[in-house]
Amino acid sequence: MKSEPNTPGQEVPVSAPVMVDLRLSVNRDSYPITVDTRETLLDTLRERLDLTGAKKGCDHGQCGACTVLVDGRRMKACLALTVTLDDREITTVEGLADGDTPHPLQAAFIENDAFQCGYCTPGQLCSAVGMLAEASAGWPSSVTADVTGEPRLDDEEIRERMSGNLCRCGAYVNIVAAIGQVAR
Amino acid sequence: MRPFDYRRAEDARSAVAALDERPDAMYLGGGTNLVDLMRLGVASPEMLVDVTRISSSAIEESADGGLLIGAGVRNSDLACDPLVRLRHPMLAESVLAGASGQIRNMATVGGNLLQRTRCSYFQDISKPCNKRQPGSGCPAREGDHRNLAIIGHSSDCVATHPSDMAVALAALGAIVHVEGRRGSRTVPMPGLHRLPGDEPDRDTVLEAGDLITAVEVPALSFATRSHYRKVRDRASFAFAVVSVAAALDVADGVVRDCRIALGGVAHVPWRAEIAEEALRGSAATATEFTRAADLELAQARPLRDNGFKVPLARNVLVRTLIDLTEAS
C-alpha cells in the first residue's frame, strides 16, 4: 500500500488531506481506489462506488443502518475507516442475492412485510445474515441463560442479537418473524 | 475531521516507535470509540497507527490455568471463547452486555479498556469539560449527571468509566501487559484506571506512547461460579446505570472467598474490597450480603440527581450474590 511519506521533520501539512491508494474488494468485485484517510467505508461505498444500499442514519454507530459484512462479520460501515480495509472482503446488501434470486432473508422480509419505509432494511438484512452465522457458530448472547451452553434462537435471542439495528417505523415484530422463519 | 497520516504497525515495538516519533499520533484499534470522537472533534490525532494487525489476536492458556488474551482480540471472540465461558463466565457475560453485535465484532480488548467516558459534556465540544480541556470546568456537577459517578469523583470530574468488560477484569484481578518507550511492563487491575482527582484528563496510569499488548486473567477456580449483572435504561445496547461482577466461593453456607466489582458508579471499574473483606468467613445469607454492600457503599457521595444509584447498587449486588449462592 502506498501512503504519503511521514518521515520525522517531513510531515505533510496538517491541513492537506492524506490520500492513499488501495484496492477494495466489495461483493467480489475489486476496485482500485484512492481514498482520503478520513473516509469511512460507508462514504466510500455510497459516494465513490455508487453502492447506496448501506444507509447513513446516525453516523455514530448507534442505528445500524450502515451495517455491512466484512470477511463475513457484520460491522458498522460508519465507524470503519476505508484505509484499514484494503485486504478485506466486503459484502453489502447489493451482494446478498444470487443473481435474480433473493437471499432467503430478503425473501422472508418480503413475505413477512418486515419493513415500512425501508430505510433501515439493508442494515437489518446484513446484520441478520451476520447474526445467523454467529448463532450457528454457537455464540451466546446477553439473554442466553447459560453462556457455557448452546443458545437456542428464539424471539428473545433474535431481539437481543438485533439490538444494534433500529427501525424508526417500528417494524420490529415482523422483522423478528422474518428472521425467525429463516433461522428455524 | 482533521486530516491524518495512517500507518499500519507490524509489531508492538514498531507501533511504540511510531508514536515516539509522532507525539500527536494515536493507536487505532477497532475504532468504535476513537473514530466517533474524531468525528465529534473530541480527538484530533495527526496520525493513526493501526495496531489491529499485530500478532496479538489470540487467547492462550497459561501454564497455571489462567488466560492470556491478546489486546487485538475482538470483543466477540473473547465472549464466545469456550475457555472464557467455562472458567470466567462473568467475563463473557460482561462483554455480551456491552454495545451491539456489530460493535463487538469490531472493538478490541485493548481498545475496550481505553474507551473514553460517555459523559455528554465530554463528547460535546461546545461545552466546558475538564477531561477534554483541563481547567475549563465541569458542567456535569450541576447539570445532567443522573448517570454519572457516586463514588470517588472530584470537584473537577464526575465521569464514569463506560466499559462492562473492565468491571469483570477488575474483579478477576487481571494483569495488563504494556509495551512502552522503556520496554515492557505489567499493570494490575484494579490499578490501570485512576480516579479523576485534579487530572481528569488522565483516565489511566498509562504514559504517552504506551500500548496494551495483552490482558492476563489469572487462574481463579471459583470464578466458574461468577456472574455479571447489568442494569440499564433499556433492555439492550445501552451503557450501565449500575452493574455488578461477582464470583463467590461458598461451602457449608459460609463464604470462603469472593471477588466483587461495580460498574457505572465511578471513574474506574470499582473493586469492592470493603464488601469482599466483610464477606470472607461470613454466612452466605441475604442479611450478610446486605451488610457487606452497605459497608462498601457507605463511601458513596451521590450527586443531586443520582442518589438512586446507591440503593440500586446495593440491591443488584445483594441479588447477584443470592443468585450465585443458590446456584451452588
The C-alpha cell that represents B243 in the structure block: 452493574
The C-alpha cell that represents A80 in the structure block: 470503519
- Helices H, strands E: what count in chain B? 11, 12
Which residue of B85, B103, B237 is in closest CB contact with A148?
B85
Q: Which of residues 1-30 of A touch B (CB under 8 A)?
A: 1, 3-4, 6, 8, 11-12, 14-18, 20
Residue B181, SS3 per DSSP: coil
Spatial separation of the C-alpha atoms in residues B152 and B160, rounded to whole Å: 10
Cis peptide before B190 (omega within 30 of 0): yes
The C-alpha cell that represents B297 in the structure block: 457503599
Spatial separation of the C-alpha atoms in residues B292 and B322, rounded to whole Å: 13
Query: Which residues lie below 8 Å from residue B129, measured CB to CB, with a gap of 6+?
Result: B119, B121, B122, B136, B137, B138, B139
Spatial separation of the C-alpha atoms in residues A153 and A136, rounded to whole Å: 9
Query: Which residues lie below 8 Å from residue A136, measured CB to CB, with a gap of 6+?
Result: none
Q: How do residues B129-171 score in pLDDT, each as one tens digit?
A: 999 999 999 999 999 999 999 999 999 999 999 999 999 999 9
Spatial separation of the C-alpha atoms in residues B68 and B25, rounded to whole Å: 27
In a domain, A82, yes or no: yes
The C-alpha cell that represents B294 in the structure block: 452497605
Residues A126 and A176 placed together within one structural domain of the fold = yes
From the number of C-beta atoms within 10 Å of its C-beta (0-12, 13-18, 19+), residue B174 rates as: buried
What is residue A5's predicted lDDT score, i.e. its pLDDT?
Answer: 44
Closest residue on chain B to A161 (Cα): B101
Pairing outcome for strands B211-217 and B242-251: unpaired
CATH 3.90.100.10 fits B227-326, yes or no: no
Last residue within a domain, chosen from A49, A75, A94: A94
Spatial separation of the C-alpha atoms in residues B11 and A182, rounded to whole Å: 42
Residues A30 and A57 placed together within one structural domain of the fold = yes
What is residue B72's predicted lDDT score, i.e. its pLDDT?
Answer: 95
C-alpha distance from residue A150 to each of A136, A162, B3, B236, B265 (Å): 10, 18, 46, 21, 33
Residues A113 and A175 placed together within one structural domain of the fold = yes
Residues A84 and A142 placed together within one structural domain of the fold = no
- Map chain A to HEC letters: CECCCCCCCCCCCCCCCCEEEEEEEECCEEEEEEEECCCEHHHHHHHHCCCCCCCCCCCCCCCCCCEEEECCEEEECCCCEHHHCCCCEEECHHHCCECCECCHHHHHHHHCCCCCCCCCHHHHHHHHHHHHHHHHCCCCCCCCCCCCCCCCCCHHHHHHHCCCCCCCCCCHHHHHHHHHHHHC
The C-alpha cell that represents A1 in the structure block: 500500500
What is residue B54's predicted lDDT score, i.e. its pLDDT?
Answer: 87
Are the CB atoms for A157 and A135 separated by under 8 Å? Answer: yes
Spatial separation of the C-alpha atoms in residues A40 and B276, rounded to whole Å: 46
* Number of domains within chain A: 2
Q: pLDDT band for position A4 (50/70/90)?
A: very low
CB contact under 8 A, A11 and B5: yes
Q: How do residues B225-238 score in pLDDT, each as one tens digit?
A: 999 999 999 999 99
The predicted model gives B102-126 an average pLDDT of: 98
Q: How do residues A69-93 score in pLDDT, each as one tens digit?
A: 999 999 999 999 999 999 899 999 9
Q: What ipTM score was computed for the predicted complex, to two decimals?
A: 0.96
Closest residue on chain A to B83 (Cα): A148
Residues A41 and A112 placed together within one structural domain of the fold = no
Spatial separation of the C-alpha atoms in residues B256 and B264, rounded to whole Å: 27
CB contact under 8 A, B32 and A79: yes
For the beta carbon of residue B311, count every other beta carbon within 10 angstroms: 13
Last residue within a domain, chosen from A65, A94, A123: A94
Question: What residue segments make up the domains of chain B, in order of their start?
Answer: 227-326
Spatial separation of the C-alpha atoms in residues B315 and B294, rounded to whole Å: 10
Query: Which residues lie below 8 Å from residue B125, measured CB to CB, with a gap of 6+?
Result: B40, B41, B42, B132
In this complex, is the C-beta atom of A102 within 8 Å of any C-beta atom belonging to chain B?
Answer: no
Q: How do residues A131-173 score in pLDDT, each as one tens digit?
A: 999 999 999 999 999 999 889 999 999 999 999 999 999 999 9
Last residue within a domain, chosen from A70, A94, A118: A94
Residue A70's CATH number? 3.10.20.30
In a domain, A7, yes or no: no
Are the CB atoms for A162 and A174 separated by under 8 Å? Answer: no
Pairing outcome for strands B25-28 and B183-188: unpaired
**Cβ-Cβ contacts under 8 Å, A3 against chain B:** 5-7
What is residue A14's predicted lDDT score, i.e. its pLDDT?
Answer: 53
For the beta carbon of residue A140, count every other beta carbon within 10 angstroms: 23
Which residue of A59, A75, A144 is in closest CB contact with B106?
A75
Q: Which domain holds residue A166?
A: 104-183
Q: pLDDT band for position B328 (50/70/90)?
A: confident
Q: Which of residues 115-134 of A touch B (CB under 8 A)?
A: 127, 130-131, 134
The C-alpha cell that represents A17 in the structure block: 488531506
Q: pLDDT band for position A6 (50/70/90)?
A: very low
Residue A174's CATH number? 1.10.150.120
**Cβ-Cβ contacts under 8 Å, B92 against chain A:** 140, 147
Count contacts between A and B (CB, < 8 Å). Answer: 134
Residues A129 and A59 placed together within one structural domain of the fold = no
Q: Is the pLDDT of residue B55 over 80?
A: no
Mean pLDDT of chain B: 97
In a domain, A3, yes or no: no
| Phi/psi of residue B175, nearest 5 degrees | -120, 120
Give the sheet arrangement for strand B270-271, strand by strand.
B226-231, B242-251, B254-263, B270-271
